[in-house]
Amino acid sequence: MSPTQNPSHNTTNVRPQKRSKVTDQTEEHTRNNAEETRLVQRKEPPRPATEISPELDSPTLPTSQTSEPPLRQPAPLPARSFPTISEMQSPLHLYNAADFEGLPTLQDENPHVRMSRQGPVPGRLQKNCLVFTLGTIPIPHIPVYKFFGNTNPDQESGVRKNTASVLAAVIHGGGQRFVSRSPEKAAEIRLFIQSLRFQASPSAPPQPSTGRQGDKGKAPARDLPGSEDTSMRDGVSEEGEILSQLEDADGAGSSALNLEEPPAAPEVVVYAPEMKHLGDKNRFGQPWTYFVELGPGTSMLREFLLWQGVFAVHPTLSFSMYAISADIQPWSIMVLSGPPGAVEDSVAAKHTVLTVIKERLWADRDFLWFTARQVAANWDAAGTLAELVKMATDTLDATVVTADDPSTGRAAPAYLITGKPVLNARNEYKRWLSFFTAAKTY
């Protein structure tokens, strides 16, 4: 059969009609747009359907957010640590740092100038108590946390739970070697405190006496704490002699005590400190504190121990009594020294040093905000930022003392800068001190 007679062959061999160029470009453009649209949809997350937001006063609110979020979220500027202080708020522009009229303030609250025997006498001692040094004596300030330095945590926890009946007896010249080599001192302190007994009527005049009465060993009558009995030796160091005098006090006649029977010795327990770490090289290191627990009915004895404050019983037993109460941070801030002749013990020189310190502090924005907030919170004070800051810096004072020069190792005059702390929490107190020492310009 010839090719012309095969229909199928003729159909397949027919050349298709040529398409126009415009049509090809249109279809290619359509495919490209579709591909681009598909790629864009894959990259972008699906958007929720747009709905009309409900009115605020609608009784029923939708359970999901239906409004379309903005394409760009506005980001706030980073917040400053403290707001900006204008010149009208800064004490540097409102007050004169060199004006010291009426300054320093609040010195009656300074714990470093506290003296013993302040206020009325809590009670009048009987004649047969053990002798101790009378008179007004300065009482060094010791923060409460130092009572427990190098002390067993279990002992510290037990004492802090019973501060109403426990006092701290800080030994003069004490330390690790004193505690480890003088175990009898706890008993001596106890017997001495038990000898402190009071007359039944503190307002009644004392009964005069011209000599010994009754049995042998009784001491002559004396009026304590106003005068001292010179016939009795200034304390003893042996526990047996203390006990002997204590027994004499128990056997005193009723005519001297104005009582039918002498009162029983007060209940007193003295605990030696339990050391966490013992080091032979640090003989005067902590702990220094013995803990005195007073039994029931000893309120007058407690008041007298804190009123007298310091007890020098004999050359090897001397201690100060402290209440274990809320911690009060020391007023000492820093010590400033310099080359020979830089420290001058004059009012003008001290005021010059304090003026420079106040100007540096008043120019520190962080110090201003920190101090103002703490004064308002802890001093029960109110006022503007400048007024609150000035309250704190008005307590600053400078005193010339003798300090060790770190460069030479010798004692040299220096300025001791003191001021009332704006708070008593230890960590925040350290931060407050850092504002003074960070300047490094004086």
Establish if 85 belongs to a structural domain.
no
Residues 245 and 158 occupy one common structural domain: yes
Q: What was the pLDDT predicted at 211?
A: 39
Same domain, 180 and 261: yes
- Residue 175, in any domain of the structure: yes
> Are 202 and 311 in the same domain?
yes
- 340 and 267 assigned to the same domain: no
List the chain residues with pLDDT less than 50. Answer: 1-4, 6-12, 22, 52-62, 202-260
**Domain end point (choices 300, 323, 346):** 323
Question: Is residue 345 included in any domain, yes or no?
Answer: yes
- Give a yes or no: residue 48 inside a domain: no
Closest CA to 253 of 218, 210, 207, 203: 218
- C-alpha 290/C-alpha 272 separation (Å) is 5
Coil, helix or strand at residue 167: strand
Q: Per the structure block, which two tokens stand in for 411?
A: 């004692």
Query: Distance (Å, rounded) from C-alpha 255 to C-alpha 162?
Result: 39
Would you list the DSSP string of 149-163? TTB-HHHHHHHHTTT
Q: Are 83 and 348 in contact (CB under 8 A)?
A: no
- pLDDT at position 395: 97
Q: Which residues 6+ apart lie within 8 Å of 265 measured at CB?
A: 194, 195, 197, 246, 250
Question: Domain ends where: 278, 301, 323?
Answer: 323
Residue 302 is part of which domain span? Answer: 111-206+216-323
Same domain, 176 and 275: yes
The whole-number pLDDT of residue 71 equals 66
- When divided into structural domains, the chain yields a total of 2
- Whether 315 is covered by a domain: the verdict is yes
Whether residue 81 is contained in a domain is answered as no
Packing angle, helices 365-378 and 426-437, rounded to 10: 140
Rg (CA), the chain: 42
Which strands make up the sheet holding 317-323, listed edge to edge?
268-271, 289-294, 166-171, 317-323, 310-314
Do residues 291 and 363 share a domain? no
Residue 29 forms part of a structural domain: no
pLDDT at 311: 95
Contact 168, 147 (CB under 8 A): yes
Asked if residue 75 is part of any domain, the answer here is no
Enumerate the H helices of 263-310 as residue ranges: 299-308
In whole angstroms, how far apart are CA 209 and each of 217, 223, 244? 15, 11, 22
Question: For residue 81, what pLDDT is reported?
Answer: 53
Residue 196, φ and ψ in degrees, nearest 5: -85, 95
Quick one: 232 and 104 in the same domain? no
Question: How far is Cα 413 from Cα 343, in angstroms, rounded to an integer?
Answer: 6
Residue after which a domain boundary falls, among 323, 340, 357: 323
- What's 231's DSSP letter? T
Nearest to 139 by CA among 322, 331, 15, 406: 322
As a whole number of angstroms, the longest Cα–Cα distance in the chain is 172
Note whether 299 and 335 are same-domain residues.
no
How confident is the model at residue 277, as a pLDDT? 85
CB atoms within 10 A of CB 372: 25
CA distance 223 to 249: 15
**pLDDT at 86 (0 to 100):** 61
Provide the angle, in degrees to the nearest 10, between the axes of the packed helices 385-393 and 347-362: 150
Locate 160 and state its tokens. 């802090």
**Counting every residue, how long is the chain?**
442
DSSP secondary structure letter of residue 265: P
Same domain, 125 and 228: yes
Single-letter code of the amino acid located at 381: A
* Same domain for 131 and 96: no
* Same domain? 310 vs 180: yes
Whether residue 345 sits in one domain with residue 277: no
